[in-house]
Structure 1
């Protein structure tokens, strides 16, 4: 089976390519770096020739509301058009748990728009909705840190997951028949975002203050409960905990400058 992985050189996509190749499939990474630009349409039809499955794990380079909406709608429309032209039989897309519950977030509105285009396309599909990745915990902390060096973080619940497990779920979806529906995935622990950030910063030796703030925004929206945790009865929960993931991470290299501090 030939699988084209859009965003196949990134964190999730590169591992999806590896997993599919290990299982005997012809997996091809496609991205602007390989001459395939799904936003402009450049190289898309040619890249999809002979493809059985298209996996889309690409992401917008800008999270500004208008930019991210333009990215996901243009990219998805161009992919669907090329899939129809080439007879592609399965479109797999990575989305976000709770996207449809948080319309105040421009980013999540864009993901919902992307999902709608896929479901209405007529191309058989599987949408994998994942929770936030362990790898992005410190990035979330940085995004919530103000000029005073204090991170003001939402108290809403999350159920984060390792990026490797997300790649496994996406690759598995690509290798199976289309669901023509949504498959939710997450990690094993439901935890408040502020507590997750504290654990992540402590593990990294980062001593910045974390203030719990129920009104702190997350991607432009305020969390009131467990919108970002899987809610479907058939959600797939991977067993690797955040603490186990932290232990498995390589230690940051020590530079002479860092050692002198």
Structure 2
């Protein structure tokens, strides 16, 4: 009798654990579906304009030059404070961002760096690095990205293709799913990508992580119909 009772409670505990696990997975799946459904859609209620904390991801090569061009037409008061992030090995990009912010500050109040912070992050994949070894570096970059995103909790994420942006965007998407912060992710594919997307862009597109996905060549828009063609921005 005691053995039967113990077996009964053991089976009940196992069934309860399985039920709770299935319920948890179901909630997560439904939440992911809801986030993907809501991605890119305007809010239901109109609210007065307010400043939005903005994360700007910079990259080596032409990525930073393109991002600077995009920022020149940005409504600076609307997207503030601004947080610039570049790879730990990329000091030049942050220097360019500082020059831009200082020029804005000089033209407005003469106080430099008042609405911007500059940070560095481990890069998920260096140029020319094999995809096999990039698995480990991506995991390290993701942990670092998690710490930075908890600290910043941006409302807007702007990126245009460097590998640095992928773990940050993944964390931003996870924050949406679990309800920490709803960050709108805007991805502008590099002008250098004429026939196919970059690896970062392809992942963000296929996984439907980006709220708005922009390309600068019409053939890319035809190949990836959820992307928006905006013409050449350079």
Q: Is the shorter-chain TM-score for this pair beyond 0.5, marking a shared fold?
A: no
Q: TM-score, normalised by structure 1?
A: 0.36
Q: TM-score, normalised by structure 2?
A: 0.40
Decide which structure has greater strand share.
1
Which one has a bigger Cα radius of gyration? 2
